[in-house]
A = this chain, B = another copy of it.
Amino acid sequence: MKTYEVPLVPGPVSVPVKFREAYMTDFGSSDLEKDFYELLKENQDLLREILKTKNSVTIQSGEAMLVLWGALKSTVCPKDKVLALSNGLFGHGLGEMAESVGAEVRYLEAEDGRFIDKDILQRELDSFRPDVVTAVHCETPSGLLNPIGEVAPMIKESGALFCVDFVASAGGADVRVDEWGIDLGLLGSQKCLSLLPDLSVLTVSDRAWKAAERAGYAGYDAVLPWRDAEKKMEMPCTHNWHANAAMNLSLKSLLEEGLENSFRRHSETASYCRSRITSMGLELYAKEESIASPTVTAVKIPSGWTWPKLDAALREHGMAVGGSYGSLAGKVFRIGHMGSQADMGLVRKGMDILEKVLNE
């Protein structure tokens, strides 16, 4: 297997050995042991602290797509109106997922490299009157961090349920579930928590639980069966003790560092990355500094290069980064400086390699 000395892929990130070591314990049956339920409840408390919420927190077994599907299927009924805020692949994707549930979906698309205009958003809220608004905090394929806090009051005012994907931001950028009125908040393990892609997390407000009761959806991705699972000591599936033990180490490590310190580390690494990028004469995808994500930087492929050619050249020098998907495929490449990879030494090495490759 090939490994790269400078892994700067925008997730799944490099997992520190101190978290992976949790997998070396031979845990008992998560179905039967009280110890496991104590661990789960502790992880829920730690996540509530990190996500700044008093809401319920479910921790489910599977990759983050599990809670993306689960949040929508559990609360959206056919013919419900969903307004999907989109400035990238995931923002649009949430709308498509809602369509597959039978919802009437309106897409509100931003211009390239920008977020939705507030006046347009207000107009849509007033005229369309959505039951649910979906948004993505960090739009990973385009390297944007959307100002959710700024539009949150308008969405709260509208009365719609607010469903926000903060998979690639939480832990590395400020996420305020309660203050922003997020009813369904989505998180995966393999980004800023520096874990394997084996757990997904959903915050659920009381209003969202009511919506889930109304929808009555059943399935592997259904949220309702998780509501009282710990109290009843009966999980909807056999849970992953090892993954929860690793998550416990990661959450504690993040709180030991301090949330503000982690945000600063991410933001400083990202600023450094972007300043090196622009000084190389490359162009950022984000139109404004304020919307560039502290966890991932999207850069336009330089002229004279194609993505496969650039990828191969960087790999030859021991560096792995990401391309992009959808309409940005072949147009931007992405540097992931999130979680364990939000490390100034690592990003400096990466920028030195990129510079060398471009000058060769």
Contacts and interface: CB of A to CB of B under 8 A. Distances in A.
Interface of A: 1-4, 7, 9, 11-12, 14-15, 17, 20-21, 23-33, 35, 61-66, 68-70, 73, 97, 100, 188, 190, 196-198, 218-221, 236-243, 320, 322-323
Given A12-B241, A68-B220, A190-B238, 19 more contacts: A1-B27, A2-B28, A2-B33, A4-B28, A11-B29, A11-B238, A20-B24, A20-B26, A23-B242, A30-B197, A32-B320, A62-B66, A63-B237, A63-B238, A64-B237, A69-B220, A197-B238, A198-B240, A220-B221
A264 to B, nearest CB: 26
A62 B220 CA distance: 9
Given A23-B20, A220-B69, A61 B9 contact: no
Contact of A100 (B14, B32, B73, B218): B218
Contacts of A218: 97, 100
A219 B73 contact: yes
Contact of A240 (B25, B63, B69): B63
A43 to B, nearest CB: 14
B236 A65 contact: yes
